[in-house]
Structure 1
């Protein structure tokens, strides 16, 4: 019996050693390894009334696991997302969740949280205004500009949509001997002439057809500044000036004869307490082009 027991002990020891050696060999053949991946961040569970901005485009993650597993990982099997369920308009702090394939361990994540801005989703329609750049050669003038479509739909964050004052297309007419048609992208502008970005414009470009007529007449006239809103205490219309004070009109002689001044688009002065400059791009109106095509309107807060 003692001899039999010793044989079983030896066999058990051999089995343990064999298992240990098997794990050693397997570990040497398929050692622990690491892999790095750039994973796009998705937005989940956001109410359709809202739109999220400032969400990171991607996060960097490092995974550890058996070499064969790491080598065969499809990056698309790694998921990163922010859960925006039950959020409201404003700024929220949201954790960035990362889901990884089985058999791996998350060793590093470049960003764990995101500060996300939640806006109400808004849609608004704007008429498209053509803005002429340059001068027609010779004695021709722009008789007519046709824009198709005449309106575009702007969508996105409500706070940005509210900043849009004008949807404009630029039409370059220099060195154009005849009429022409061109596809022109739409720009969204604030009242001060700066571009509003981060919105979707549908369609994003329009077809612009320009008709040129011969025998242009020119005429220099003063510009008239218009304001809307309520001036701050101590400020008056005298504090608002235009630079330059005159413009040159170009068009049909009979039409120019009735024009003795040029009205600038109205600028809002409500609540302004410091110097401000608006860059007003002159629209094409009734076959008349304006030089220069941009006028600076300045509100000077120096009290008289």
Structure 2
């Protein structure tokens, strides 16, 4: 067996060398390509109860290597990451690291160095404020828990929502200027409407006396110049004057005034006038 392997050994070694030279020449002449990829920036080494902010969502990679490796789906394993193992709470600067398959070289990564902030995740209770134009709103709970990075939680002053007539109102955390803090979570993130009542307001408006019948002539009419109304805010806003209709008849008398008002609006007190009327 050994003799058979050793037979024609020089010729076999020469053939093996020739094959190696051909393989090397083929590899040396293999076309080289470049490719640009966008990859999400992964964050490693963050412990439970910590939050990272300020980092870009993605990075751009420029890669170089044999065309057979660069083209197609051969780069699906390429990843970009920063490792925050051992980083303490506060600001940090880290280089972006890239995982590449064998034979592929990293030409450039943008950005290659990133800045961010590592903070503890904390919670704090916020009072709830719900805007319900034209209504008094009773809701529960009166406060909710804000959860997020310490810096954002410290900025939050209240949770606000806008009532649109449903059984529940969605809440959003805001800072002292009213700007929303979108990265904060609320628990719960909505309140339940227990009762909704129309908000009542008062408004004084001019009183306009209705014209008498053509068969009567008004000699004297003494009526208030204005009347105070109570009703829903939105309805009162549309009223600029009120038409008053007395009992028209010949003679001198005091008559209550019938006010022509929209539904849900009434005067705060009865209104009357003194009249002296004659037949034509």
Q: TM-score range by the shorter chain?
A: 0.5 to 0.7
Q: Which residue pairs with 1:57 in the alignment?
A: 57
Q: Which residue pairs with 1:240 in the alignment?
A: none
User: Retained in 1: the 8 A contact 2:139–2:191?
Assistant: no
User: Retained in 1: the 8 A contact 2:64–2:104?
Assistant: yes
| Structure 1 residues 45 and 143, CA gap change in structure 2 (3 angstroms) | closer
For 1:24 and 1:209, the matched residues in 2 are separated by: 82
| Structure 1 residues 131 and 64, CA gap change in structure 2 (3 angstroms) | same
What is the DSSP-based 3-state SS (H/G/I as helix, E as strand, rest coil) of the residue aligned with 1:162?
Answer: helix
Select the structure of larger CA radius of gyration.
2
Aligned equivalent of 1:153, options 145, 164, 173? 145
Number of aligned positions between the proteins? 200
Q: Which residue pairs with 2:270 in the alignment?
A: none
User: Retained in 1: the 8 A contact 2:137–2:193?
Assistant: no
| Structure 1 residues 218 and 83, CA gap change in structure 2 (3 angstroms) | same
What is the DSSP-based 3-state SS (H/G/I as helix, E as strand, rest coil) of the residue aligned with 2:47?
Answer: coil
Report the alpha carbon displacement of residue 183 of structure 1 after superposing the two structures with TM: 4.8
Report the alpha carbon displacement of residue 84 of structure 1 after superposing the two structures with TM: 1.4
Matched, 1:44 2:44: yes
For 2:100 and 2:118, the matched residues in 1 are separated by: 28
Report the alpha carbon displacement of residue 166 of structure 1 after superposing the two structures with TM: 1.0
What are the Cα deviations for residues 44-85 of structure 1, in whole angstroms up to 9, with x where unaligned? 11233432211121111122222222233243x122221212
What are the Cα deviations for residues 76-99 of structure 1, in whole angstroms up to 9, with x where unaligned? x12222121222222121121111
TM-score by length of 2: 0.58
User: Retained in 2: the 8 A contact 1:33–1:65?
Assistant: yes
Residues 1-304 of structure 1: pairs in structure 2 closer than 5 A: 19-25=20-26, 30-70=30-70, 71-75=72-76, 77-133=77-133, 135=134, 142-147=135-140, 150-172=142-164, 180-181=165-166, 183-208=168-193, 211-213=196-198, 216-218=200-202
What are the Cα deviations for residues 14-47 of structure 1, in whole angstroms up to 9, with x where unaligned? 876665444444565x522222211111221123
Provide the aligned C-alpha RMSD in A. 3.6
For 2:168 and 2:102, the matched residues in 1 are separated by: 52
TM-score by length of 1: 0.54
For 2:198 and 2:49, the matched residues in 1 are separated by: 50
What is the DSSP-based 3-state SS (H/G/I as helix, E as strand, rest coil) of the residue aligned with 1:68?
Answer: helix
| Structure 1 residues 34 and 182, CA gap change in structure 2 (3 angstroms) | farther
What is the DSSP-based 3-state SS (H/G/I as helix, E as strand, rest coil) of the residue aligned with 1:161?
Answer: helix
What is the DSSP-based 3-state SS (H/G/I as helix, E as strand, rest coil) of the residue aligned with 1:181?
Answer: coil
| Structure 1 residues 14 and 78, CA gap change in structure 2 (3 angstroms) | closer
What is the DSSP-based 3-state SS (H/G/I as helix, E as strand, rest coil) of the residue aligned with 1:196?
Answer: coil
| Structure 1 residues 152 and 81, CA gap change in structure 2 (3 angstroms) | same
Report the alpha carbon displacement of residue 251 of structure 1 after superposing the two structures with TM: 7.1
Unaligned runs of 5+ in 1: 1-7, 136-141, 173-179, 221-248, 253-304
